[in-house]
Structure 1
Amino acid sequence: MKKFFSIGEVSKLFNVKISALRYYDEIGLLKPEYKDEQTNYRYYSTQQFERLDTIKYLRALGLPINKLLDFYNSQNTNTLIHILKSQQTEIDRKKRELERIEKKISRRIIQIEDAVHTPLDHISKIKLPALRVAYLEHEYILGHDIEHSLAELRTRLNVNEDIFIGKIGLSISAAHVKANQFDKYSSIFMILEDESENTLSETIFPSREYLQIRFKGSHPEAEPYYKKLLAYMKEHHYEVAADSIEITLIDYGITNNLDNYVTEILLPIKSIS
C-alpha cells in the first residue's frame, strides 16, 4: 500500500485546492508528514487523511479557520461542543437574515409589478394603514440634487439598510398644496418596511384616507396631477388633511428609460362638513 501522497494527489483525492492545503500548512492546521528538502515538495501520510476529513466536515458546517485552530489546539470534546453550539447560533442568525431578505425580495417584486401594471392618470380613494418612516424636514426645490438630502437622511437617522432600501418619498406641505405651490418640498422620508429596521428617530404617518394618482414621469412632471387631485377634491367635497406623499415607484434605480418612470401622489383627505 502506498504510504505517502503528494500534495497534488491529496488535492485530487479530497477535492481540496492545493492553495488551501498550503495555507493549512502555513498556519499549522494540517502540516504534511514531511517535506523533501531538495524539492520542497509536501507529502502526506494516510494517518492524516482522517484529520483532513474532519477539517472538510467542519468547514462545510461554516466553521471559520480560527475556530478550527482553537479546536485542534485543545482537541477535546468540550471545545468542539462549544464551537458547534456557537456555530449553530450563528446559523440561526443567518437564517433569520435570509428570511428577512426573502421577504424584501417578494415585497419588491410585488411593488414593481404593481407599478408596471397600474392604471395611470386615474384617481382612486384608498385607505392606508399607519406607515413607519424615517423622516427629515428638509426643503428641496425642484431641480436640486436630492441625493445629498437622502445621504443626510440615512446618516442623521441611523438608517443603515444595504439591501432594498424602502421607498423614498417627498412631501409638499399642506399649506403649499392648498396654495398651488408644487415646486418646493418640505420633507424627505424613507418608508421602513419591517420591524428590524430601527432608527434613532422615526415618525408614524397615521392610518387615513388618501386620494391616489399615478402618472408616467417623476417629480418635475407632478404639478398637473396635483391640480387634477385638487379639482377632484373640490368636486367631491374633500379638503387636504395633511402633507402630500409623493413616491417615484419606478426610477433610475430600476430603469434607464425615462419613459418607464412611474410616480405616485397620495393626498391625505377629509370630508368638508
Structure 2
Amino acid sequence: MRNLFTIGEMGGLFRINIRTLRYYDEIGLLKPEVVDERTGYRYYSARQFERMNTIKYLRTLNMPLDKIKAFFENRDTSVMEQILEEQLEETREQLSRLHSIERKLSNRLFQLHYAMTAPLERIERKNFPARPAAFLKKEISQGENLEYPIRELERTSQLPPAMFLGKVGVSISREDLLNGRFHHFSGIFVLLEEEDNYRGEQTFLPEGDYLTILYAGTHQDSAAYYKRLLACAREQGLECSGDSAEITWIDSGFTDDQEKYVTELQIPVVSRTSGGYTESIGKDF
C-alpha cells in the first residue's frame, strides 16, 4: 500500500487547491510528512488524511484557520466542543446580520418600485401610522445643498451613512405652509427602520391622514405642488394640521438621469370641524 503522496496527488484526493496546501504548510496547519531536500518536492502520508479531513470539515463550517490550528495544538474533545460552540454563536450573529440586510434590501426595493410605478401628479388621501425618525431642527433654504445638513444630522444623531439612501426627508413648518412660504425648510430627517438598530434620540412623523402627491422632480419644484395640496384640502373641508414631510424617493443616489427623480409631498390634514391639530414634526427638539 502506498504511504506517500505528492502535493498534486493530495490536492486531487481531497479536491483542494495546491496553493491552499502550500499555504497550510506555510502557517504550520498541515506540513508535508517528507520534503525532498534535493528537489524540494513535498510528500504527504496516509497518516495525514484524518487531519486533512478534519480541516476540510471545519472549513465547511466557516471555522477560521487560527482556531483550527489551535485545536490541533491542543487536540481534545473539550477544545473541539468550545470552538464549535463559539462558531455556532458567531454563525447565529451572522444570520441575524444577513436577515437584517435582507429586510433592508426588501424595503429599498419596495420604495424604489413604489416611486417608479405610482401615478404622478395625483393627489391622494392616505393614513400613515406614526413613523420614527431622527430629526434635525434647522432652517434650510430650498436652494441649499442638503449634503451638509445631512452630515450634521448624521453627526448629531450618530447615524451611520449607510442609513441615508432613500430615507431622507425635509419638512416645512405648518405656519409657513399656511402663509404660502415654500422656499425654506424647518428641518431635515431620516426615516428609521427596526433594522437600523438606532438607539439615539428620535421623534415621530405623526400618525394620521395626509394629502400626498408624487411628482417628477426635486425639492426645487415643490412650491406648485404644495399649492395644489392646500387648495385640495380647502375644497375637501380639510386644513393642514402639522409640518409637511417631503421625501425624494429617487434622486442622484439612484440615477444620473434627473428626469427620473421622484419626490413625494405629504401634508397632515384634519377636518375643519374637528378642531384638532397633530403635533409638528420635531416639536420635542
Q: What TM bracket, shorter-length normalisation?
A: over 0.9
> What RMSD over aligned residues (CA atoms) do the two structures have, in Å?
1.8
How is 1:1-273 mapped onto 2 (pairs within 5 angstroms)? 1-160=1-160, 162=162, 165=165, 167-194=167-194, 196-273=196-273
Is the CA contact (8 Å cut-off) linking 1:169 and 1:189 kept in structure 2?
A: yes
| Equivalent pair of 1:166/1:192 in contact (CA under 8 Å) | no
Q: What is the rounded CA distance, in whole Å, between the counterparts of 2:261 and 2:67 in structure 1? A: 50
Letter in 1 for 2:247: I
Shift of 1:231: 1.1
SS at match of 2:209: strand
Name the aligned partner's letter for residue 141 of structure 1.
S
For 2:185 and 2:196, locate their aligned partners in 1 and report how far apart those are by CA, in whole Å: 29
Contact 1:161 1:197 in 2 (8 A): no
**In 1, Cα distance between equivalents of 2:125 and 2:163:** 32
TM-score, normalised by the number of residues in structure 1:
0.93
* Amino acid in structure 1 at the alignment position of 2:133: V
One-letter code aligned to 2:235: E
* Residue aligned with 2:135, SS: strand
Contact 2:166-2:248 within 8 A present in 1 as well:
no
Q: What's the CA shift string for 1:54-89, capped at 9, x where partnerless?
A: 101101101111211221111100110111111111
Q: Which amino acid aligns with 2:187?
A: S
Bigger shift: residues 32-41 or 84-93: 32-41
Amino acid in structure 2 at the alignment position of 1:182: F
How far did residue 238 of structure 1 move? Answer: 2.1
Cα contact 2:166–2:250 (8 A) shared by 1: no
254-263 or 2-11, which deviates more = 2-11
Matched AA of 2:168: I
Q: Kindly indicate whether the alpha-carbon contact (under 8 Å) linking 1:166 and 1:191 is maintained by their aligned counterparts in 2.
A: no
Ranges of 4+ aligned residues in structure 1 off by more than 4 Å: 163-166
CA contact (8 A) 1:238 1:272 kept: yes
User: Which letter does structure 1 place at the counterpart of 2:265?
Assistant: I
Structure 1: stretches of 5+ with no match in the other structure: none
User: What is the alpha-carbon distance in structure 1 between the residues aligned to residue 161 and residue 80 of structure 2?
Assistant: 35
> Which residue of 1 is the match for residue 277 of structure 2?
none
Summarize the Cα distance change of 1:72–1:119 in structure 2 as closer, same or farther, 3 Å threshold.
same
CA distance in 2, matches of 1:98, 1:161: 19
> What CA deviation, in whole Å up to 9, does each residue of 1:223-271 have, x standing for no partner?
1000111111222232221111000112222222211111100001122
Q: Is the 8 A contact 2:121 2:214 kept in 1?
A: yes
AA at the equivalent of 2:130: A
Partner secondary structure for residue 121 of structure 2:
coil
Check the 8 A contact 2:5/2:45 in 1, yes or no.
yes
Counterpart of 2:31 in 1: which secondary structure? coil
**CA 1:5–1:161 in 2, change beyond 3 Å: closer, same or farther?**
farther
C-alpha deviation, 1:165, in angstroms: 4.5
User: Which piece of structure 1 moves more, 2-11 or 179-188?
Assistant: 2-11
> What TM-score do you get using the length of structure 2 for normalisation?
0.89
Structure 1 contact 134–199 (Cα < 8 Å) conserved? no
**Could you tell which deviates more after superposition, 223-232 or 22-31?**
22-31
2: CA distance, partners of 1:198 / 1:136: 15
Deviations 1:137-169 (A, max 9, x none): 223222322122222222321222637856111
Compute the displacement of 1:214 (Å). 0.7
Which range moved further: 157-166 or 4-13? Answer: 157-166
